[in-house]
Structure 1
Amino acid sequence: MCYHISLTKKDETIRKRFEIPQSDLNVYTPFYHRNGFEQEAIYIIKDSQPVHFASAYWGMLPESYNINQRGTFLKKSNTLNARAEGLLESPLFHKPIKNNRCLIIADGFFEPHAFNGKNYPHYITYKDNSIMGIAGIYTALDEHVFTVSLITTLANDYFKKIHNKKNTLGEYRMPLVLDESDELDWLDTNLKIEQVNKLLSSFTNKEFESYPVSKEVMNAHVNSNYAHILNKVDYPELHTLF
């Protein structure tokens, strides 16, 4: 599961990376930590407008819902994440994976590392600290209100060492970070199902780095959207560094 991301980059960096118009960035406010259960926006690029930038609510709602029902819906059905396996069979996700794909824009994400019965949040980013496009699906509740789920996949060996506790299905998971060369394909509205499935089995070729950060990341009662939440924290009890 992945419920925590960052996007700290300046407008110009995002504009150049995705070749989007400057006017789109009027909706953009950088953040150091976004908890998916919060009300604040995350940012996406939709398949229907692949050179435009939009804000979205994290946690996909059915199209028949309105945004005021988000809190109640997420308590009943946690849609912050969507498992890559079985998307086409899901009553909620089968239509969006065919017709409403998006990139979730981030420059890092946070995952818990379990050690001696306690969790130690780790921040994961590219070694060059560049922007990543995470595979997502979305619904449009109206012309300007979008809700989104972040797609996760089975973890590779690197991520198994970080998020080292299995979920209720006995799996290790990681966000489906697309390789930059696959991003436009993911947004292609003419993509065939076999091509979608191929991308759902893909992953970025770039190298990551990770390190432990403050436990305030996992504390819902603390506003942890501040610059030094990304600073490395030395926990003497941790003997393994990534």
Structure 2
Amino acid sequence: MCGRFALFSPLERLANRVGASAPENTLRPRYNVAPGTWIAAIHQPSEDAAPIVDEMWWGYRPKWAKGSGNQPINARVETVATNAYFKSAFAKHRCLIPADGWYEWVKNSKPKQPYFICRKDREPLFFAGIFTERDDGSLGCAIVTEPGRGSAAEVHDRMPLILDDDSLEHWLAPDITDHETIKQMVRHIDADLIEYWPVSTAVNKPAEGQGDELINPA
């Protein structure tokens, strides 16, 4: 799964990677992004429009659920195209969620021991996401996850679906709606690019801080 991540790279740099304009108000660096908060996401409004950086609520609940449906933060890649709750968004409303890394916890560790997982070269990541209009008119999103790969699987059996550079444009393209076509055109990054290390248990409580010390090796 992916239940916490960090984003501290400048959004202008990330937006340029996919031909999107940077937002006027630069978001502050966040080292402990938690569900149920506003996060930066990139989506393409229409086939003729350029991608844009938008704020989305990290919690996916379609407008048609009328405020009573579940509000998942993740969607499994194995079922996102067929699950009734997600399939419309997968076909028509895909987004990228930029991050510099994410946190996972080893199961059954006491106290819960967090690990920070990122690229070995410290390059930013783009998580595959889906989004929907919520009942209040805002946008809400979920991060697509896949089975853990490479060293990330040593920490948790699930991880975000991290797209390689050649897949970013295809993932955003609103005119590509067929499941099999998306599957053929989209690739995840090489698992050998990923590494991890243990960090402070202060990560376990987002209210305790958002400083860069959270990603330092414990």
Q: Shorter-chain-normalised TM-score: which range?
A: 0.7 to 0.9
Measure, in 1, the Cα distance between the counterparts of 2:130 and 2:75.
8
Shift of 1:114: 3.6
Q: Deviations over 1:7-64 (max 9, x none)?
A: 1012442343333324x24263321110113x3x211111325521011110111123
Moved over 6 A (4+): none
Q: How does 1:93-242 map to 2 (within 5 A)?
A: 93-114=86-107, 118-141=111-134, 145-163=138-156, 172-191=157-176, 192-198=178-184, 202-205=187-190, 207-219=193-205, 222-233=207-218
For the aligned residue pairs, the C-alpha RMSD in angstroms reads: 2.5
The equivalent residue for 2:75 is 82
TM-score (structure 1 length as normaliser): 0.78
Measure, in 1, the Cα distance between the counterparts of 2:55 and 2:105.
26
Measure, in 2, the Cα distance between the counterparts of 1:113 and 1:64.
36
Over 3 Å counting, the alpha-carbon distance change for 1:149 and 1:12 in structure 2 is closer
- Which stretches in structure 2 are left out of the alignment for 5+ residues? none
Question: Size of the alignment, in residue pairs?
Answer: 213
The equivalent residue for 1:34 is 33
Contact 1:2 1:109 in 2 (8 A): yes
Shift of 1:78: 4.5
Q: Which 10-residue stretch deviates more, 140-149 or 173-182? A: 140-149
Measure, in 1, the Cα distance between the counterparts of 2:138 and 2:71.
19
Measure, in 1, the Cα distance between the counterparts of 2:132 and 2:24.
21
Contact 1:112 1:119 in 2 (8 A): yes
TM-score (structure 2 length as normaliser): 0.86
Measure, in 2, the Cα distance between the counterparts of 1:211 and 1:182.
28
Over 3 Å counting, the alpha-carbon distance change for 1:15 and 1:78 in structure 2 is closer
Contact 1:27 1:55 in 2 (8 A): no
Amino acid in structure 1 at the alignment position of 2:188: F
Q: Deviations over 1:149-208 (max 9, x none)?
A: 000011124222122xxxxxxxx21110011110101111222321223467x3113712
